[in-house]
Amino acid sequence: MKSCICILPLAIWLTSCSLATSYPETFEYSPKKEESAIEIQKQMAGELYGFYRNNKDKKYEFYEVQVREANLLINYCPDNQTLCLSYDLCSGWAFYFVKVDEVALKKLADARLPFVEYFTLASL
């Protein structure tokens, strides 16, 4: 019985977070030749902020500061060249899928931006 009391809050938390992150958005992005990695990252952060502004009246809890701070992650899936931008939301993660070309991927990887963490996903 005691274990049920402990598990119930966890189940409620997981349900609320899964509801909040159930609407991934996707957009295509090809950088201009002269764009640097930081400009590419800023463009993606801008897309996230645009998504926040368009959806702030829904059941999301987006925080503008998290686009600028270290809570922004970029995960790369090599199979379909998809970047998954995600940021902290409801103590979970909100996902935003970005299809980019190889120029953007190379610039982002070469820059090793200190506020962006990269890791490879086995599959989506």
Mind listing the pLDDT tens digit for each residue in 20-76? 333 344 455 566 677 776 676 666 666 655 655 565 555 433 333 233 333 444 444
SS3 86: strand
Give the integer Cα–Cα distance in Å for 89 and 118. 19
pTM attached to this predicted model: 0.33
Give the integer Cα–Cα distance in Å for 104 and 100. 6
* Tens of pLDDT, residues 16-36: 333 333 334 445 556 667 777
Measured CA angle at 91 (ends 96, 70), to 5 deg: 65
